[in-house]
């Protein structure tokens, strides 16, 4: 039983597809990495899978097991404004809300989960600081902790490593690997191709479409399959310039 | 001072106005935090003009004012939400659109029927005498409902205000909570405008939130502080209005301005103080 399956699906903005003819399948426990150059539509695909954008064409099958309130999401950018009065703790624990349904207040379990995630991302000491007054990387960690709070079965991460220092990046990949080993499905967008190849079980490579002004793009899926197969493919060789370390 | 207060509260109409006003200030300051942060500051202004139009129509039909105004304002709030969600018209433009339209309709209706009398003037600038006993009961009941709903859905309101996209992506029904905020705001404004006046009710929404944000940096502290500021300013404003025979609405707003200036100064001093100590430590 697959978690998500796209059959000939396309996603885009205002009826205009920027990614087209996607065919792939994600099973529970998979670790999928989405790679591709800037503007190839990786973030658009993530939003499409989350239902923030409806598919322009084709079919997207989403299993009953994949319910949004068991899903964590780290956006590439947030609209959260400058000057917003919210503490790190308030921002992180708000990730638990989806799982609460209509229940109004946080339980002890929610508070514990928030604390655990803040500790594992080294932001526990910052919990009472104002989110808007943190550095870029600290904000990123806060949003990552929030995504972890929300993730029950599936975690979607859009460039989780951007803005993190090397130690934090390493720890973050380790953390995600552990979660995946514990049974959580991961979908991650990353430009760090070596890390992607090391961690992921599957790779989805998107390419830019040739059409003028990105109008009604078709066939933008360059590769989908197991990581071992990707390493051997010509797509990977072109994308990395033939330099794959392991 | 005690004498003045006891004299003041010996008038039944003042006590009534006071209770309702206190509840309205509390509701509007709590909702205001979310509205200001969602860039909906002017919603109070817009909806109170709708309320003005509705009250003018109610007067023309000689219907009970609140029974026309509350539904009209609630409908307007939903329409506003829909417009700014689904079309390219931005929130502020949508508010201006609805506000000026209903003001025009209200003025037209007034001049066709009763003419610009004191009643209409009261709608514009507010009057504590405008509250009848049944108004007070209805207002108090609705205001208590607004308060309870706000407390129960506080966490959701935070999530929808802080990052709506994330909330939606993780399965929070943001549409419902946005509607809830619009609904609570509409009721608060319809109730408050009779007392504060269509022109001043939006200040009850904006001022306490902005004032609290000068000093506090957490959503919870800002919310609690805004509620306290709003209640204190309302109390002080009503007392001033009694002492100097000024209009209730205007007096409350002036006290709110004073509080805003005070908190701005406090926030500024705090930042200054912090950077100074940092500088000294740096020099040693
Ligand atoms: N809001 C929008 N409206 C219209 N077009 C958009 C919008 N956002 C993105 N696009 C277009 O969709 C295409 C894919 O954008 P997307 O953000 O998904 O790229 P990406 O693969 O995530 O790139 P990056 O690696 O830079 O994050 C781009 O060509 C972009 O111009
Ligand atoms: Mg992107």
Stretches in chain B below the pLDDT threshold 50? 282-284
Question: Would you state the structure tokens that stand for residue A222, as one six-digit string?
Answer: 């360059």
- Name the residue among B163, B170, B171 with its Cβ closest to that of A79: B163
Question: Would you state the structure tokens that stand for residue B263, as one six-digit string?
Answer: 């908190």
A134 touches chain B (CB under 8 A): no
- DSSP category for residue A87: B
Is residue A57 exposed (0-12), middle (13-18) or buried (19+ Cβ within 10 Å)?
middle
Dihedral of alpha carbons B265, B269, B275, B279, sign: positive
- Partner-chain contact A67 B213, CB within 8 Å: no
In order of their start, the domains of chain B are 2-283 (1.10.3470.10)
- Partner-chain contact B172 A98, CB within 8 Å: yes
- Partner-chain contact B155 A94, CB within 8 Å: yes
Q: What ipTM was reported for this prediction?
A: 0.89
B215 vs B261: CA distance, rounded Å: 12
Q: Which atom of ligand 1 is nearest the CA belonging to A214?
A: 29
| Average pLDDT per block of 10 residues along chain A, 246 residues long | 86 84 89 90 90 84 74 83 88 92 89 93 92 90 93 90 89 91 92 87 86 72 82 77 60
- The reported pLDDT for the residue numbered A222 is 78
- Name the residue among A85, A95, A104 with its Cβ closest to that of B222: A85
Question: Would you state the structure tokens that stand for residue B24, as one six-digit string?
Answer: 């309205």
- The reported pLDDT for the residue numbered A214 is 67
Query: A94: closest CA among B31, B162, B1?
Result: B162
Q: Helices B133-152 and B12-37, interaxial angle, to 10°?
A: 30
Ligand number nearest to the C-alpha of A206: 1
A52 touches chain B (CB under 8 A): yes
């Amino acid at each position: 039983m697959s978690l998500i399956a796209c059959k000939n699906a396309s996603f885009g903005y205002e009826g205009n597809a920027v990614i087209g003819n996607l065919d792939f399948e994600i099973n529970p426990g998979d670790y999928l990495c989405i790679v591709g150059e800037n503007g190839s539509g990786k973030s658009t695909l993530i939003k499409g899978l989350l239902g923030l954008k409806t598919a322009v064409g084709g079919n997207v099958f989403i299993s009953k097991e994949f319910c949004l309130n068991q899903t964590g999401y780290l956006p590439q950018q947030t609209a959260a404004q400058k000057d917003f009065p919210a503490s790190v703790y308030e921002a992180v624990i708000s990730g638990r809300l989806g799982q609460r349904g209509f229940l109004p207040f946080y339980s002890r379990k929610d508070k514990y989960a928030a604390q655990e995630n803040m500790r594992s991302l080294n932001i526990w000491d910052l919990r009472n600081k104002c989110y808007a007054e943190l550095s870029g990387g600290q904000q990123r960690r806060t949003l990552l902790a929030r995504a972890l709070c929300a993730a029950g079965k599936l975690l979607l991460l859009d460039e989780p490593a951007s803005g993190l220092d090397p130690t934090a990046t390493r720890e973050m990949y380790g953390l995600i690997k552990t979660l995946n080993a514990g049974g959580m499905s991961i979908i991650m967008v990353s430009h760090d191709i070596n890390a992607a190849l090391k961690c992921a079980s599957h790779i989805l490579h998107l390419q830019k479409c040739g059409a003028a002004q990105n109008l009604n793009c078709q066939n933008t899926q360059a590769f989908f399959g197991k990581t071992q197969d990707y390493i051997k493919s010509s797509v990977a060789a072109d994308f990395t310039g033939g330099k794959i370390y392991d | 001072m005690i004498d003045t207060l006891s004299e003041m509260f010996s008038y039944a109409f003042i006590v009534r106005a006071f209770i309702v006003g206190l509840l309205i200030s509390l509701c509007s300051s709590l909702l205001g935090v979310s509205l200001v942060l969602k860039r909906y500051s002017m919603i109070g202004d817009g909806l109170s003009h709708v309320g003005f139009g509705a009250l003018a129509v109610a007067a023309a039909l000689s219907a009970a004012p609140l029974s026309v105004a509350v539904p009209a304002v609630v409908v307007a709030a939903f329409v506003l939400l829909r417009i700014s969600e689904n079309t390219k018209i931005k929130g502020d433009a949508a508010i201006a659109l609805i506000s000026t339209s209903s003001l025009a309709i209200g003025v037209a209706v007034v001049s066709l029927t009763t003419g610009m009398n004191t009643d209409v003037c009261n709608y514009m600038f507010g009057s504590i005498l405008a509250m009848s006993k049944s108004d007070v009961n209805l207002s108090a009941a609705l205001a208590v409902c607004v308060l309870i709903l706000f407390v129960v859905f506080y966490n959701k309101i935070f999530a929808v205000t802080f990052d709506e996209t994330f909330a939606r992506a993780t399965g929070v029904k943001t549409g419902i909570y946005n509607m809830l905020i619009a609904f609570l705001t509409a009721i608060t404004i319809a109730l408050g405008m009779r007392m504060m006046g269509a022109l001043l009710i939006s200040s009850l929404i904006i001022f306490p939130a902005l004032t609290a944000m000068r000093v506090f940096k957490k959503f919870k502290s800002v919310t609690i502080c805004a509620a306290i500021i709003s209640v204190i300013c309302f109390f002080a404003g009503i007392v001033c209005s009694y002492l100097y025979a000024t209009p209730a609405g205007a007096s409350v707003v002036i006290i709110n301005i004073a509080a805003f200036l005070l908190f701005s100064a406090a926030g500024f001093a705090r930042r200054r103080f912090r950077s100074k100590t940092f500088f000294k430590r740096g020099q040693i």
